[in-house]
């Protein structure tokens, strides 16, 4: 098995382990209850009933609809939501920050050199982009605008995984602790 495939398999295993631990701690399994229908059909109103009923039973439940996504769903749920998106443009990140409104929005710039990213690439996307098989690939033939004033910068090239994790967790605890 190639090294990148082994890394992807280890990541998948870690995610599955975390999901199992989360389910064991909460006493429930995760699920998506997807209500569909046209605007005004009553989806959001209907969705609030099981959210309330499950919450009253001690379950972790949250209704996600267009309105609460636009106003910052995770802070409303009292959660720390960790996102991992390329989000290459400063304007897009600015819009995400603006949508958070008064809620805490922490921008973390995760950095490494191109050679390091290519070596870590379990899907071979950088190679495909270099061969022209993928057009508009961020970091190769599409730009990435580094944040000008991130709340935290983590250099994944010069710090080990456990040090990077500790740095991020300490940062979150410092900024989000009650």
- Which one of 26, 44, 87, 170 is the catalytic residue? 87
Q: Are 108 and 168 in contact (CB under 8 A)?
A: yes
Please give the backbone phi and psi of residue 100, each rounded to the nearest 5 degrees, phi first.
Answer: -70, -20
Kindly list the distances between the CA atom of residue 129 and the CA atoms of 4, 6, 124, 138, 178, in Å, as whole numbers in the listed order: 17, 22, 9, 9, 45
d(CA 47, CA 77): 15
Asked whether the CA dihedral 6, 10, 16, 17 is positive or negative, the reply is positive
d(CA 129, CA 148): 27
Helix (H) or strand (E) holding 155: strand 152-155
Please give the backbone phi and psi of residue 19, each rounded to the nearest 5 degrees, phi first.
Answer: -60, -45
- The yes-or-no answer on residue 142 being catalytic is no
Instruction: Please identify every residue annotated as catalytic.
Output: 87
């Amino acid at each position: 098995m190639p090294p990148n495939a082994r890394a992807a398999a280890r990541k998948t295993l870690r995610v599955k382990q975390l999901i199992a631990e989360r389910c064991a701690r909460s006493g429930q399994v995760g699920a998506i209850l997807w209500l569909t229908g046209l605007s005004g059909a009553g989806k959001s109103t209907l969705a609030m009933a099981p959210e309330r009923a499950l919450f009253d039973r001690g379950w972790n439940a949250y209704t996600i609809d267009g309105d609460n996504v636009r106003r910052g769903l995770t802070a409303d749920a009292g959660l720390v939501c960790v996102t991992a998106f390329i989000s290459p443009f400063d304007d897009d990140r600015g819009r995400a920050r603006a949508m958070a409104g008064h809620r805490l929005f922490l921008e973390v710039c995760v950095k490494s050199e191109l050679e390091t990213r290519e070596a870590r690439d379990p899907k071979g996307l950088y190679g495909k982009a270099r061969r022209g098989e993928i057009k508009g690939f961020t970091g190769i033939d599409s730009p990435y605008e580094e944040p000008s004033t991130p709340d935290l910068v983590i250099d994944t090239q010069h710090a080990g995984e456990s040090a990077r994790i500790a740095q991020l967790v300490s940062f979150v605890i410092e900024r989000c602790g009650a």
